[in-house]
Amino acid sequence: MLNLRSPLYIYICSFPFLYFFFTNQIAMDSSEQEKVDGDIDVEKKKDKTANGYGGDGGEAKGTASSADKDSGDFYDVEIEKSNGEKEEKPPQESKEESTSISSKTEEFNDKEITIHSPKIFCNARNHYLPAIKSQAHLPKPDPPATPRVERSKSLSIAETMPSIGKYISDRSSSFSAAIVRRLSSWKEDNGDLVVKNDSLNLEVTEFHIPGVKVIVKLKSEAERLGLDLKGRISFFTRSNCRDCTAVRHFFREKGLIYVEINIDVFPKREKELIERTGSSQVPQIFFNEKWYGGLTALNELRNGGEMEVKLREMVGERCPEGAPAIPVYGVDDEEEEDDVLLETVRALRKTLPIQDRLIKMKMVKNCFSGVDLVEGIMDHLDRGRKKSVITAKLMAQKHFFHHVFGENEFEEGNHFYRFLEHEPFIMGCFNYRSSTNDSEPKPASFLADRLSKLMFAILEAYASDDRLHVNYSGIDRSEEFRRYLNVARDLQRVNMKLLSPSERLALFLNLHNAMAIHAVISIGHPEGVLDKRAFFNEFLYLVGGYPYSLNIILNGTLRRNRTSPYSFFRPFSKGDRRLELAPHKLNPLIHFGLCNGTRSSPAVRFFTADGVESELRCSAKEYFQRGAIQFNMEKRTVYLTRIIKWYNEDFGTEKDILKWVMKYLDSTQSGLLAHLLADDGHINIMYQDYDWSGNL
């Protein structure tokens, strides 16, 4: 509660009185200032009358006066009109207003003097122009009266708000007008012009003005031809297919709307593909209901100039019903099968004495004993003790429950266990919904392959060609990502031990990168220390019955339980069953295949089980050629990515690091590094700054 004697409470209570006091004070100051200005005007009128100025028929006898002390050779000359009247300019005119004086003739003591002056700039404070100083023998009249400058009244905040809005509007209009003027005066030979997509033989699509970037939307092929396409272009594809990527890029460049049917995302559509074309090869292109062919046929169509003919065929009526149907989003076409032990497990969840117990001086919540479990199975299935123990071990292998301290899978006796849904980490797992997945666990190899194909499809649709920029909002709304979440949920009780070493390596690499995308969508990019902890350590997946974070996958599994940078603790304690899934040997290339959603991390990519080793080498070469290593030959300094500094124990000594890096450099980079290593001189190794901003 707010203390009534606190300064904050006193300030809040006194705010209305302070506002009333200052408002009245400003009004009083304004009224007093107007009174003072009125008195000054009266005095000035008296002085004008006494000196012969300001009267009804008063006329100036001369125009020169000593005004500006800084420019001794110039005086102020008042401009007179031809009819004898004085020309008056308001004091609000701009300082940069220019006036040209060609000649001026005046008569003084029956002598005519002509003064010529070039174009000059006048002062905005008065309407007098500097001219050459008059001769000494000529009469010097008194200076004219200084024009009155009215003071602006003090306005309240409410009264000044419309002025602020008008100022912003005027500035915006001026800025827009400046852009239009700049564009209208733009010339083709301007050095700042940047042309993109010029291969389409269209107008400039993007150009840069210093401080301004203008992007012009291109017309599609149909719009350029003046065609109103009502038909449909559709084609069948697979994930990670080069020919499919070429077809997709062709239609994107032409600006044509198409329907892509990825049979890796929609597996049941493969049967339709075989029925229509007689094979399962992709890509297969359809114009309305007519099957045209694959990439070869599309190249012939493009090179032969018949693309316009095909487009004109689709003008008119809408796409017939015989064309390939648009994929239905939000519908699960994959069948789920309940686990054979599910009925028994559900009965045990209701009948077992689950309670909190003090075990080994620790309070363990929601646990039950192994003896109670065996007896519960015997009562429910009407089996003997030996078969009931075998059934309990099978339940443990399928990760329905675990030992509270991870000491064993299952042993009858004085041991305590806990159901998976009662684990303390379960609510922090982002692939966990209201309950655990009790369906029959799918083969680990099938889920690993399904995960990689879905993520390949996501990258092809929502990432740039170089995979350095990712459209996370588009991924969040996509059908591919929705189906990926279903696969992630199927990982809860998968048996990871059935995977081969290459399959396991590819799965953990892909899972790390997929989790990073999911983490950005769910909690955002890490900006501070606390955000990084939540991103790397607290964003969890339930995989094979155990929790995995980005930190656990990298440092616990892939790096064989090594400490993370700036940490003193290993991810896994002794006896942790997740250590059984770590590779037999650490591969340093893993650091260049993992993307954490930042700009300085390697480009996001996914791997296949058959080619994971070669794909890791390609990712390392791509990363170093993108600027992860730089040279200063004069200072004999090599600038390396900070990733190598963080995980230097994975690469060896500094000299070993340079020799190891040389294998993944291009010819120019390897030549520079070989030159530095050849003379056995000292080489300075510096590390680049890491950019933690998102790869948006």
Region 191-204: mean pLDDT is 41
Q: How confident is the model at residue 54 (pLDDT cuts 50, 70, 90)?
A: very low
pLDDT at residue 120, as a whole number: 39
pLDDT at residue 221, as a whole number: 61
Region 450-456: mean pLDDT is 97
pLDDT at residue 199, as a whole number: 38
Q: How confident is the model at residue 68 (pLDDT cuts 50, 70, 90)?
A: very low
Torsion of CA 154, 155, 156, 158, to 10 degrees: -170
Q: In 3-state terms, what secondary structure has residue 227?
A: coil
Q: How confident is the model at residue 389 (pLDDT cuts 50, 70, 90)?
A: very high
In the predicted structure, residue 93 carries a pLDDT above the cut 50: no
**Cis peptide bond prior to 283, omega within 30° of 0:** yes
Lowest mean pLDDT among 117-121, 276-280, 283-287, 434-438: 117-121
9, two tokens: 């409470």
Q: Are 355 and 364 in contact (CB under 8 A)?
A: no
pLDDT at residue 116, as a whole number: 45
Between 654 and 547, the more confident residue is: 547
Lowest mean pLDDT among 84-93, 347-356, 428-437, 562-571: 84-93
Count of helices and strands (H, E) across the chain: 20, 22
pLDDT at residue 345, as a whole number: 95
Q: Are 539 and 514 in contact (CB under 8 A)?
A: no
Amino acid code (one letter) for 12? I
Lowest mean pLDDT among 129-133, 218-222, 393-397, 688-692: 129-133
Residue 553: which residues within 8 A CB-CB, separation 6 or more? 508, 511, 512, 515
Q: Against a cut of 0.75, is the pTM above it?
A: no
Lowest mean pLDDT among 33-42, 171-180, 551-560: 33-42
For residue 237, list its beta bridge partners. 262
With 0-12 CB in 10 A as exposed, 13-18 as middle and 19+ as buried, what is 510? buried
Q: Are 338 and 439 in contact (CB under 8 A)?
A: yes
Domains in the chain, ordered, with CATH? 221-314 (3.40.30.10), 341-424 (1.10.10.10), 444-590 (no CATH)
Maximum pairwise Cα distance, the chain: 142
Regarding beta strands 284-287 and 355-359, do their DSSP bridges make them parallel or antiparallel, or are they unpaired?
Answer: unpaired
Q: How confident is the model at residue 104 (pLDDT cuts 50, 70, 90)?
A: very low
pLDDT at residue 397, as a whole number: 93
For residue 123, list its beta bridge partners. none
Residue 123: which residues within 8 A CB-CB, separation 6 or more? 95
In the predicted structure, residue 666 carries a pLDDT above the cut 90: yes
